[in-house]
Structure 1
Amino acid sequence: MTKAAMQEYFEEILETTGDLLYRVIIYDRELNNCDEIVALDEAYTAIKKSAWMSSNSVWLGKAIERLERMKARLLTLMEDLLYTA
């Protein structure tokens, strides 16, 4: 994957993960997953604040990897929340 493609993918996954995180926070009305959501939110915020480092391809690769794992976990949380709603 080229550097430009990685940068574009990073921006896309950062935005979609943030949107998904927001929706999970809204749907977790009973605070069943509060601790995990707070941890995911803190990790997301740290990545977003460090986005200026995206010119470093090693950092960019690790950030993309982390965001992909976060997105997968958030999807699972959302499925659980919607199933029990």
Structure 2
Amino acid sequence: MKLKAVGVLIFSVSLVVVSSPWLEALAQNPYPQPTKDGRERIRRVGTCPTGYVGKGNFCEALHGDAPRAYPKVKGAAFPSGSFASGDYCKSFR
């Protein structure tokens, strides 16, 4: 009986260890993530774009209808309909 419980415990611990890198990668997603109140939150990689405020490691939109911002890609042009704002590309809307 004890041997079975130890086996289940080892399996549970290994499952947590295996899934940890996946969760960390998900938390560092460079694309906008919605907050509970409907605003956008992006990972901070420098100066936040206009209409966003810095909160720790994130830039969070001041309003729910703020234009989306995406991180700049070195050596690439901005997507059509966007402009530079801080260290990000921001859509015109």
- TM score, norm. by length of structure 1: 0.31
Instruction: Say which structure is richer in helix.
Output: 1
- TM score, norm. by length of structure 2: 0.29
